Structure 1
Amino acid sequence: MSKINDAPLEGYPTGEKLSRMVQETQPSGKHRTIGWVAGIACLGSFLFGYDTGVISGALPYMYMPWEAGGMHLNSLEEGLIGGILLIGCAFGALFGGRLSDRFGRRHNIMLL
């Protein structure tokens, strides 16, 4: 019998019983492979890089003067735009993760 601080752990299975229970229990759900996990992580990284590239491509047009249809940005404003977008991404991931934990991923995806 297992003991912690010389007190028996009552109600918990012993090693032999635990091994038998593990072998008798049927696997549940589909098995996910590391390939799926890696693919989804790569897709997320690709999309993040794509978004960063899109804002980088839009910044030169924001430098243009007001008369040419631009926003006439300076270096500080350019940095603020890039930084605020990344902060927004971080908060979106945090908020989306909490929504997924509370309501489930399927509901979260349908909402998006």
Structure 2
Amino acid sequence: MTFFERMKSLMNKRDISGREFADMLGITSANMTFWKQGTMPKVNIAYKAAKILGVTVEYLLTGETESEASEEELEFIRKMRQLTPGNRNAVKSLLESLYQQEQEAQDLSKKSG
């Protein structure tokens, strides 16, 4: 899959049109036509595109990443970014508490198994 194909797939998943995406990036639709033909975007544009699409620049450009986030995880991140700082801290505290519970349960399972 090419850069353009990955970008289009992610745009479709997020219901973003080519025109909307170009506007978000501050470019013309012609730039996207060049990408379709195999030209790569400038670094600053690739960074903005990755941020908008919720993926790493590495994934967008190469298709490779250490750990690709699932759509559910990306949605969680998008929602977290919209919370007030106080609510973000509340979610982080809850997440940390649940994580600790999971770790303790795994530790008990290993000891008894």
**Structure 2 length as normaliser, TM-score?**
0.25
- Higher relative contact order by CA 8 Å / sep ≥ 6: 1 or 2? 2
Over alpha carbons, which structure has the higher Rg? Answer: 1
